[in-house]
Amino acid sequence: MAHDPGRGTDFKSVLPSVPAIEARGISKRFPGVQALADVHLQAYPGETLAVVGENGAGKSTLMKILGGVQPPDAGEIRVQDQPVAIHSVKDAERYGIVVIHQELNLAEHLDVAGNIFLGREPTRGGILRLVDPIIHERAAAIARRLGLDVSTRTMVERLSVGHQQLVEIARALSLSSRVLILDEPTSSLTERESARLFDVLRELKKQGLCIIYISHRLKEVEEIADRVSVLRDGRNAGELAGAAIHHDAIVRLMVGRELRQFFTRHAPERPVRETPILEASNVRWSAQQQEGVSFQLLSGEIVGMAGLMGAGRSELAETIFGVRTLRTGEIRVSGRRLKLKSPAQAIAAGILLVPEDRRVQGLVLSNSVQHNISLASLNTVSRMGLVQPRRECELAQRMVDQLRVRTPSLQQLVGLLSGGNQQKVVLAKWLCRTPTVLILDEPTRGIDVGAKAEIYSLIDQLARSGMAIWMISSDLEEILGMSDRVLVMHEGRLAGEVARSELSEEAIMRLATGGAL
């Protein structure tokens, strides 16, 4: 540990003086947005540099430039103090720069091992170039290190988003690199996998790797970063190091002002009405489940749902939303039994789901922001089957303003927005409706602190207006801050319930890992 600078020491004197990677004066413009303007960044071997900033601040763009995915308009990249030209991902890899991008880039129809070694398959059989089965052993070794506990022969398309994210990380780790860039790697990981990842990252750091880490979970940044570089509106907004790395300080640099209130749950003064809006009894969606899931949602309450990856939280939500077929059990809304064949019936009954995977389930990436927001509410902005462009535009503009979506115009293709802004569009699409039950599956995935606070206050308002809100989240802080009570799932069943007065991280984790209260 002698060379580990540790927090609070003046580590600059301990670190090698030559940055592993340096960006000088990088600028990048897209039609209608200056994504980066004269940005500088230095990262040293053996350190973890966190890059933070609001949604659309330019973090991913900078990493894409370092990773050879996009060329900069101006500026210089230096590796080991030498200027280098990076025109492609291959170039970047040659200089030892490996990037895990914010949006997953996996081959859906290949298995886990195939994805980890894609393009670098160990082969045998000479000219036949047969894929060596050893690939599975090697993949399994990396997977174990990250706690990815699925067979390496599973098709990636059948994995949950969290597992897919781990596959992506495993792929990056299997490449030998000097600079490892992780763009929001934990956005759909639960506490346990994140902790595993951090262990691995610490180990890599000790081996002298330079790690650049992007996240909106500031608690993680506090935990793992030696230095924090903040971007605001595509410019450098400041740096923090060592003991100065503190939630409030980061936020001040990010947003440019103090952020007073973060979680705004005003627990209802009078007890919520006791007639349940949603009753699920003995719900099963898979043959492997020993017992069904039963629970109730009351009007006006926010129910958090925690659990480890693969505990079945999203599956349960999808079953109640009519995406998966109900094997046994029944679902009632305001006492009436639902016959679910597809989401259309659930929506008609007043249940809405903000899905987990925005790019697959939430958005039509090749359509505009406006069309995406209005897609599920076209009936409210059309007359006799014809869409009224003015009303559609008003609706979209109202939601864009309310959620502060950063987009050059309503006509911008949603796929071109930054990750967090895409997530805001998914929320906008559903929050402009007024359901009786709102299911949020990882609602703030990739959303910055400022916008999060706003979304929390919006959720709080919705609950106070009588909506029942069911919030699935892997972000424990969020669960603790917003829930009136928390349901915890473990391996496809409900492991228990924690009331607000007894809420604590330990209580939730104990249930989530299969223990008793």
Partner 1 sequence: MKKLLGITLFLLVVYGALMVSHENAASFDTHFLLGQRIGLYGILSLAAGLLIVTGGIDLSMGSLVCLCSTVFGLLVVRYQVSIALAFLAMILLGGVVGLANGLLVTKLRLQPFMVTLCGLFIFRSIARWMTGEAKIDELAQNLGPLPDFFEGAIAGMPVYLWVLLLLIVVGTIFLHFSVFGRYFVAIGSNERAARYSGIATDFYRIFAFVLCSVLTALYSFLALMNSPSVAPSTTGQNDELGAIAAAVLGGCTLRGGEGTIYGMIAGTAIIQILRMMNTFWGIPSAVEGIMIGTILLLGIIVDELLRQRERSRSVL
Ligand X SMILES: Nc1ncnc2c1ncn2[C@@H]1O[C@H](COP(=O)(O)OP(=O)(O)OP(=O)(O)O)[C@@H](O)[C@H]1O
Positions touching partner 1 (CB under 8 A) are 30, 64, 69-70, 321, 323, 342-344, 346-348, 353, 355, 360-367, 371, 375-376, 378-379, 382, 385-387, 413, 415-416, 429
Is 185 a binder of Mg ion (CB under 5 A)? Answer: no
Pairing of strands 386-387, 130-131: unpaired
Indicate the angle between helix axes 191-206 and 134-146, nearest 10 degrees: 100
Q: CA 297: distance to chain centroid? A: 26
Q: Which does 442 bind (CB under 5 to 8 A by kind): partner 1, Mg ion, ligand X, none?
A: none
Give the CB-nearest residue to Mg ion: 60
Q: Which residues bind ligand X (CB under 6 A)?
A: 30, 33, 35, 53, 55-61, 102, 406, 416-421, 446, 448
Q: Tokens standing for 491?
A: 């391996």
Cβ closest to partner 1, residue 238 vs residue 343 = 343
By the 8 A CB rule, do 466 and 300 touch? yes
Q: Which does 382 bind (CB under 5 to 8 A by kind): Mg ion, partner 1, ligand X, none?
A: partner 1
Nearest distance from residue 69's CB to ligand X, in Å? 10
Q: Which does 378 bind (CB under 5 to 8 A by kind): partner 1, Mg ion, ligand X, none?
A: partner 1
By the 8 A CB rule, do 171 and 107 touch? no
Q: Which does 55 bind (CB under 5 to 8 A by kind): ligand X, Mg ion, partner 1, none?
A: ligand X
Cβ closest to partner 1, residue 72 vs residue 496 = 72
Nearest distance from residue 89's CB to partner 1, in Å? 11
Running DSSP on this structure, what letter comes out for residue 46?
T
By the 8 A CB rule, do 490 and 310 touch? no
Q: Which does 33 bind (CB under 5 to 8 A by kind): partner 1, ligand X, Mg ion, none?
A: ligand X
Nearest distance from residue 217's CB to ligand X, in Å? 12
Nearest distance from residue 278's CB to partner 1, in Å? 17
Nearest distance from residue 421's CB to ligand X, in Å? 5
Report the C-alpha gap between 7 and 227 in whole angstroms: 9
**Binding string to Mg ion for residues 404 to 423, with x set by CB under 5 A, is what?**
--------------xx----
Cβ closest to partner 1, residue 113 vs residue 369 = 369
Is 102 a binder of Mg ion (CB under 5 A)? Answer: yes
Indicate the angle between helix axes 389-402 and 419-431, nearest 10 degrees: 120
Q: CA 317: distance to chain centroid? A: 18
| Look-up of token digits 């290949």 | 110
Q: Is 325 left (phi over 0), alpha (psi -120 to 50) or beta?
A: beta
Q: Which does 53 bind (CB under 5 to 8 A by kind): ligand X, partner 1, Mg ion, none?
A: ligand X
- ∠ CA 370-376-381, nearest 5°, is 65
Nearest distance from residue 359's CB to partner 1, in Å? 9
The length of the chain is: 517
Cβ closest to partner 1, residue 384 vs residue 516 = 384
Question: Among candidates 427, 432, 438, which has minimal Cα distance to 469?
Answer: 438
Q: Which does 58 bind (CB under 5 to 8 A by kind): Mg ion, partner 1, ligand X, none?
A: ligand X
Burial letters 125-151, b for 16+ CB under 10 A, else e: eeeeeeeeeebbebbbebbebbbbebe
Cβ closest to Mg ion, residue 216 vs residue 490 = 216
> Which residues from 44-73 bind Mg ion, rule CB under 5 A?
60
Report the C-alpha gap between 378 and 387 in whole angstroms: 7
By the 8 A CB rule, do 369 and 425 touch? yes
Q: Which residue stretch of 101-109, 218-226, 265-273, 482-490 sits at the interface with Mg ion (rule: CB under 5 A)?
A: 101-109
Give the CB-nearest residue to ligand X: 420
**229 - beta bridge partners?**
51, 239
Cβ closest to partner 1, residue 45 vs residue 68 = 68
Report the C-alpha gap between 15 and 207 in whole angstroms: 13
Cβ closest to Mg ion, residue 184 vs residue 392 = 184
Which chain residues interact with Mg ion by CB under 5 A?
A: 60, 102, 418-419
